């Protein structure tokens, strides 16, 4: 079974190395020729992992026709690029493939979630199914083979099982799930909450605040996710609380880091002026704000992170306003 990983970023490289460690036939496609040459010839990718020597069996190419005999195509690009890469691989596909999605966010135009975007682009005669491989998993740790659990979520149980077995090994354990909607919403919502977690840390708050944010953030994720049709128990799993915890607490998280900068400056301008990284939570906060207004869902943390990012509200004022809302029962 041949897998082509689309995207030579940190996550694509780390996941490709899992497959190569498993003895699988796998190659990375990247648009950046320098990155591709570095992976192929030097077995490193210093921009993301400065001190890591990758598995020397890892292969990379800048020739997109490599997808023509793939059985599995894993998309490891940001959510804003998913539609574009689906359109670019389409002319090369000669048979039905499993598409593995790893992006955590929404389509930039219609705000749809990732599996729907992929199904809209790739016709059913070329697509066996979409499997989202998502959960608490920073590339920086997976590339060092640190113990990680993740979930292969699909409406197609057989394909989820195929992906589960393809990737699982003694450091990377893959569970299966079928609540595609709930899981994809869970991993998107957690990015906006992780931004808020970074903001609070940047403002100087400590562990009590982080625990409060994660707990109340989970409550918002469940309210939103179940209102949209997800199953409550999904949010208690790897694609809910699991990914929320890792992203709200890890220095590896770009969402947390972006929030930290904003909190430190007590202003989001610093982010808008300097950011060059993929920070999915920024656009997700806007999508969530619009959806929660439309569906009348109570999401005070999302309200405040939206106001900080898009209305110039000072983070310190947002934190105070969250604390001074009307008192209520917890559950």
Ligand X SMILES: NC(=O)C1=CN([C@@H]2O[C@H](COP(=O)(O)OP(=O)(O)OC[C@H]3O[C@@H](n4cnc5c(N)ncnc54)[C@H](OP(=O)(O)O)[C@@H]3O)[C@@H](O)[C@H]2O)C=CC1
Ligand Y SMILES: O=C(CO)COP(=O)(O)O
Strand arrangement, sheet containing 172-177: 59-61, 25-29, 2-6, 72-75, 97-101, 127-134, 148-153, 172-177
CA 22, CA 11: separation in Å to the nearest integer?
17
* Ligand-binding site membership of 320 (annotated): no
Strand partners, 133: 152
- The tally of CA atoms less than 13 A away on the side-chain side of residue 233 is 3
Q: Tell whether residue 104 is a contact of ligand Y (CB under 6 A).
A: yes
Residue 3 or residue 278: which is nearer to ligand X going by CB?
278
What backbone torsions phi and psi does residue 55 show, to the nearest 5 degrees?
-55, 125
Span 71-90, contacts to ligand X by CB under 6 A: 76-79, 81, 84-85
Strand 148-153 vs strand 172-177: parallel, antiparallel, or unpaired? parallel
Q: Tell whether residue 103 is a contact of ligand X (CB under 6 A).
A: yes
Cβ-defined contacts of 114-117 (< 8 Å, 24+): 114/79, 114/82, 114/184, 115/155, 115/180, 115/184, 117/82, 117/83, 117/86
Residue 217 or residue 307: which is nearer to ligand X going by CB?
217
Q: Tell whether residue 256 is a contact of ligand X (CB under 6 A).
A: no
Binding mask 275-304 for ligand X (x = CB under 6 A): ---x-x------------------------
Q: Tell whether residue 253 is a contact of ligand Y (CB under 6 A).
A: yes
Binds ligand X by CB under 6 A, chosen from 3, 5, 7, 234: 7
Q: Tell whether residue 79 is a contact of ligand Y (CB under 6 A).
A: no
CA 235, CA 229: separation in Å to the nearest integer?
12
Binding mask 171-200 for ligand X (x = CB under 6 A): ------------------------------
Binds ligand Y by CB under 6 A, chosen from 39, 75, 81, 246: 246
Query: 173-203 burial string, b = 16+ CB within 10 Å, else e?
Result: ebbebebbbbbbbbbbbbbbbbbbbbbbbbb
Residues annotated as catalytic (active site), given as ranges: 190
Please report, as ranges, the residues that interact with ligand Y according to CB under 6 A. 104, 136-138, 194, 243, 246-247, 253-255, 280
Q: Residues annotated in the binding site, as ranges?
A: 7-12, 31, 104, 135, 137, 139, 190, 243, 253-255, 277, 280
Please report, as ranges, the residues that interact with ligand X according to CB under 6 A. 7-12, 30-32, 76-79, 81, 84-85, 102-105, 137-139, 278, 280
Q: Residues annotated in the binding site for substrate, as ranges?
A: 104, 254-255
């Amino acid at each position: 079974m041949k897998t082509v990983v689309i995207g030579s970023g940190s996550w694509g490289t780390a996941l490709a190395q899992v497959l190569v460690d498993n003895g699988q036939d796998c190659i990375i496609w990247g648009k950046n020729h320098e990155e591709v040459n570095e992976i192929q010839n030097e077995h490193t990718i210093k921009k993301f992992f400065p001190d890591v020597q990758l598995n020397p069996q890892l292969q990379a190419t800048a020739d997109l026709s490599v997808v023509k005999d793939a059985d599995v195509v894993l998309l490891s690009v940001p959510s804003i690029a998913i539609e574009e890469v689906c359109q670019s691989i389409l002319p090369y596909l000669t048979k039905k493939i499993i598409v593995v999605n790893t992006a955590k966010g929404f389509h930039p135009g219609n705000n749809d979630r990732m599996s729907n975007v992929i199904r809209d682009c790739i016709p059913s005669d070329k697509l066996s199914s979409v499997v989202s491989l998502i959960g608490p998993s920073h590339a920086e740790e997976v590339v060092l083979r640190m113990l990680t659990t993740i979930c292969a979520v699909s409406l197609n149980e057989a394909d989820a099982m195929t992906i589960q077995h393809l990737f699982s090994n003694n450091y990377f354990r893959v569970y299966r799930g079928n609540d595609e909607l709930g899981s994809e919403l869970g991993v998107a919502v957690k990015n906006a909450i992780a931004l808020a977690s970074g903001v609070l840390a940047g403002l100087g708050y400590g562990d009590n605040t982080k625990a409060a944010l994660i707990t109340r953030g989970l409550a918002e994720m469940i309210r939103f996710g179940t209102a949209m049709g997800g199953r409550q128990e999904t949010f208690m799993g790897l694609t809910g609380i699991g990914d929320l915890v890792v992203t709200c607490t890890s220095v590896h998280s770009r969402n947390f880091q972006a929030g930290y900068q904003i909190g430190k400056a007590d202003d989001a301008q610093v982010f808008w002026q300097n950011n060059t990284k993929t920070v999915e939570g920024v656009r997700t906060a806007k999508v969530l704000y619009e959806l929660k207004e439309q569906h009348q869902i109570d999401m005070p943390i999302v309200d405040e992170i939206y106001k900080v990012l898009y209305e110039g509200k000072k983070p310190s004022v947002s934190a105070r306003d969250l604390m001074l809302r009307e008192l209520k029962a917890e559950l």
